[in-house]
Amino acid sequence: MPSVYSVGDMGLIDTTFAPIPTSVLSDWGQDITYIQTSTPRVYDPTTGAVNGADTRVTVKAVITRVNPREYDGLYQTTDLKVIIGTSELGTYYPTEADRIQYQQTGATREAKIIAITTYRGDDPVYHSLIARPQ
């Protein structure tokens, strides 16, 4: 059976669906800090310091708890599902070296990204992340 969309229709998918996450996240999302690990970490054995640069970007996100049954029990009940759009990240694809910072009960928390699903046409539309609080 032929596909509903041909390869030439990927632009149609982008123009149809790309604005939706931005609109939903601006209404329902909260501000989080997305931390891109932009250079490899280097350990200095003399000082014990780990050096490397991070890039911090404020993005809108919807954060929910992961239901382990939803993912065949692969995740912990404390893990978070984080939906972010691409308006702030552009064509950058999240990696498992990246982290997020978010507010929870008046405190700043940090979580490491452990799984990533990107929904896309020609370009990313939005990212669904599983993050583990540290």
Instruction: Compute φ and ψ for 19, nearest 5 degrees.
Output: -75, -20
Give, for 23, the enclosing helix (H) or strand (E): helix 19-28
CATH number of 29's domain? 2.40.10
Tell me if 2 is assigned to some domain: no
Whole-model pTM?
Answer: 0.75
Tell me if 48 is assigned to some domain: no
Going by C-alpha positions, the residue among 56, 100, 98 that lies closest to residue 81 is 100
Q: How many domains does the chain have?
A: 1
Domain extent at residue 112: 7-39+53-133
Tell me if 113 is assigned to some domain: yes
Tell me if 17 is assigned to some domain: yes
Instruction: Compute φ and ψ for 29, nearest 5 degrees.
Output: -85, 165
Tell me if 20 is assigned to some domain: yes
Residue 23 has which token pair? Answer: 């609109």
Tell me if 47 is assigned to some domain: no
| Residue numbers of the chain with a pLDDT score lower than 50 | 1-8
Give me the pLDDT at residue 17, please.
67
Look at the chain and count its residues. 134
Strand 80-85, strand 99-104: pairing: unpaired
Give me the pLDDT at residue 92, please.
86
Give me the pLDDT at residue 5, please.
41
Give me the pLDDT at residue 6, please.
42
Tell me if 103 is assigned to some domain: yes
Instruction: Compute φ and ψ for 56, nearest 5 degrees.
Output: -110, 130
Residue 123 has which token pair? Answer: 């370009």
